[in-house]
Amino acid sequence: MVKALLVAAVSSGQGKTTVTAALARKLVRLGKRVRVFKCGPDFIDPMLLERASGAPVRSLDLWMVGQALCAQQLSQAAAEADVILIEGVMGLYDGTPSSADLARAFGVPVMAVIDAGSMAQTAGALVHGLRDYGPVEMAGVIANRIASEGHAKIVATSLRDIPLFATLPKQARSLPERHLGLVLPGEVGDIDQLLDALADQLAFDQAAWDKLRDVAFAPAPAAATAPPALAGKTIAIARDAAFMFLYPANVDTLRALGATLTFFSPLADEPVPATADAVYLPGGYPELHAERLSQASAWQASIRAAHAAGKPIVAECGGMMALADTLADQGGAVWNMAGLLPGAVAMQPRLAGLGPQGLPTPQGALRGHTFHYSKLDTKVEPAAYTVKHPSAIQGEAWYRAGSLTASYFHAYFPSNPAAVAALFLRSET
């Protein structure tokens, strides 16, 4: 038995991540063992939540991750922690499946975060609607951007039978953001002081906390062991400030498949390790580091050599952008990239792709998502397309150029380890 909450809101922008991080840090400072999860596909929020809680943050999603693996992760966390916090995605009922679906699937009460900065009594109507629409079990409310003690009392009264669990005042300084979301924790020099300040300002009702019911997560059956199809293979993974959008579960899957992993930094102009049998270039922010990448001659020569040697190269989103001929950054400057995928990438003022998708493969569907602000202009014909979920309409292009496979699609490797193994093995044809 463990205390567990799904932290949700009516929409994005209400302060879910800030509140979840503040609550996690506060509970850790009170001596609690805290595990945090993030609903849906996300790379950046989990980094901040990991910094706040001091423990790894994994993804929960009934479609992409699957109910069985979600159950396994929650069961393991419950055995190791005093508190489980799950940050929802977008609004409570947004998506198919939604955060509310996850909460109901595992019997987790919902803690609603509301931006109360521009409302008073209407807070009650909003929260009751969130509770009753599903319905979901509403444990309480955390009111963000509260102006005063009087404001907090008005909000609390409006909630009627739903407790006001905590409040957070308006912040003079918020967590910095950029086009893909929050700035990475490592880029904020005083991130721990900022998290401590948020924890200090989060005023929560200890009596309400004590009344929270415990949640029982049934022991989950052990996951099926994937055949070690990559045994004896070494996979080089790009990992630095330009390539950091990497699910920890993807790394676990590659190791479970028997691969030996080595990491290198294209930004530091490190070449692909000579021992590598294959290369994995995850997504990230190449557009923020395009000038340095264009000047990384050793890295560019090494990835071209790996391609010429027929070594499998899997490039996702930012990884693909770095392998095009050119990359135009947000300021319009054009930089030469590695040139393995003929074409030009340019940043866009608006979101160019978003949502869960699946890639059809001979081994079955490989699930994942897409989220990007750039577009690729190429004459290369796609080898396949992903399928959007749940609409089943055509999604992202999947390109093949020699031993390179590249797409804006971010794959969640545990969804189909056999398909993943095939990507990193040399083709017999």
Is residue 59 within 8 A of residue 69, CB to CB? The reply is no
The whole-angstrom separation of Cα 313 and Cα 406 is: 8
Using CA atoms, how far residue 374 sits from 285, 320, 347, 351, in Å, is 11, 11, 4, 8
Q: Please confirm whether the linkage preceding 169 is cis (ω < 30° from 0).
A: no
Q: Please confirm whether the linkage preceding 227 is cis (ω < 30° from 0).
A: no
| Residues with catalytic roles | 317
- Residue among 298, 192, 299 nearest 242 (CA): 299
Which residues, at least 6 apart from 59, have a Cβ–Cβ distance to it below 8 Å? 37, 38, 39, 40, 41, 42, 46, 65, 247, 249, 412
Using CA atoms, how far residue 165 sits from 7, 47, 330, in Å, is 12, 25, 42
The dihedral region occupied by 392, where left means phi > 0, alpha psi between -120 and 50, and beta the remainder, is left
Query: What secondary structure does DSSP assign to 66-107, as a single string?
Result: IHHHHHHHHHHHHHH-SEEEEE--SSTT-TTTTHHHHHHHHT
Neighbours of 173 (CB within 10 A): 9
The whole-angstrom separation of Cα 157 and Cα 165 is: 12
- Residue among 427, 425, 403 nearest 230 (CA): 425
What own/partner pairs with CB < 8 Å and gap ≥ 24 does 68-72 have?
A: 68/220, 68/221, 68/223, 69/223, 69/414, 70/102, 70/105, 70/106, 71/106, 71/217, 71/218, 71/220, 72/220, 72/221, 72/222, 72/223
> Counting runs of H as helices and runs of E as strands, what totals does the chain give?
13, 25
